[in-house]
Structure 1
Amino acid sequence: MFRLVAASEAIRGAVPAELVPVFGFVTVLGGSKFLMVALSLAYWNDGSRRRELLTVVGVAFVAVSVTLALKYGFGLPRPPAAARRVAVDPSPVGFPSGHAIAATTVYGGVLVALDRYRDPKLLAGAGALVALVGLSRVVIGVHYLGDVLAGFAVGLVMVGVVAVALDRGPTSVFGLAVVCSVPAVLLAAAPGDAALAMGGSVGGLAGAAWRTGAERFRSLVERVAVTAGGVAYLVAAIAVVETVEPLFLPAAAANAALTFGIVALPSLVGRFDAFAGASAAD
């Protein structure tokens, strides 16, 4: 009853087939890859608030582990394949909604981290986006409404973690993510999910501990060079992760390298002049 099966069927029935592709696009905005890329770009380019944005990245990895532990701990199935209205092959467990948790954590967490949650327009916009992401999971038939509402609740807890974590710093947050990844690895049946939780958290912790104080970009050329290099690294690293995903240890190592690169990349800011000087001296 708490999964609200009848209400979910009513929502799916109320949305015409012509609008399903729109909800299929909206659901991407709560996916892990999209949020990882979007957060990375914001973190690399906002030189004045990198620490705050990196804290959100760390809490996002905490949320990944919490999501896996809850999903596989409850072990509740998704709606039947006949209910799906897009071509997807999700994990077999569906409670709570990972997209709802991730969207609430990231979009809400960014507002808190940047101290913009008091702006009614931004708050309403973020709330509407998160609500649409959750609704899209019901419309396309991969979650029940109860899964989504539970995901929102967990996500709000994660936003609270962001508020507390801002005073502790990114290294402490990634340390918490590593601790949270242990039960996720023990419970998760999918090695790729477990590798993301543990490998990503370990790589983030190493990057947060290693990173040096990055300067602001000195020119548009430097900004473009660092960002383009980062995007190229993301694409290559994600491709490697997807290739080795069925194997836990290689996938964990690839995820660790991926997250370490994301966290450490801003340390290159301001060093291009030094590189250029060294090359000229040679």
Structure 2
Amino acid sequence: MIGAKKPMQKFYCIIKHPFLPTFAENEARDYIIQQENDKARAKLKALAEELIPDFIEVSFYVSEIDFHQTLPQLLSEPFENLIFIGLQGTGVLKKLFLGSVALRIIGNTDNTVVAMPKGIDSFSHEKIFVAVGENKPLNIEQLNNFLSFIDHNNTSITFFHLAKPNEDTTRIKEHLQRLSNIYADRFSTNFAIYEANNRIDGIKGVINNKIDEILIVQKGSRILTDQLFKRFLINELVYEGQTPLIVLP
């Protein structure tokens, strides 16, 4: 989790501890938990030393307690928060369903979530694609919060809508144009409407699976509620295409 209002970054790590038999002594449990927490904290510190400049103050929070209890406390602090989730995707089920922890966080938080596929060795934001629907309004406030983390130079934003063949796109076209104009003073912007028989074909015409692309979607939109599309989005774009996925609350 990263806060933006102050020069401080905070990392929240969810730990899955090895199975302990119910008859294990409390002292043994506490020892193993402490060992795992220490290992996780060491990994976080190594990650911070590699990626975070020295002038930024970094604090660490590692806990074995379920994130439903601890995450709300961290998010209540006076920061503009981003929650970063690393996606491992080592098995078919994990790829298709994103992982129970990630889905629970996306479904139960009112903060922007950044899903980063494991194995991505570089990150660029030269091309940002923002999916816009008609029925689920785009959370402009949260979009602005996320874009405040982004360097405006050499960054283009495309607001797009996935339309079915022969769909009346008059209203959505006007909306896309307004969004493009709103951000034109800070970014290079444009908009597009992609027609396809299904949204999977449409999204293939938008994202080219390149490391300089970011896909932003709105929680609750059809793009995320359509089960077939969500599987494609997660499997082929996030995992195979190494495309960072931003989910706005």
Question: How high is the TM-score relative to the length of structure 2?
Answer: 0.27
More helix by share: 1
Question: How high is the TM-score relative to the length of structure 1?
Answer: 0.24
* Greater relative CO (CA pairs within 8 A, separation 6+): 1
More strand by share: 2
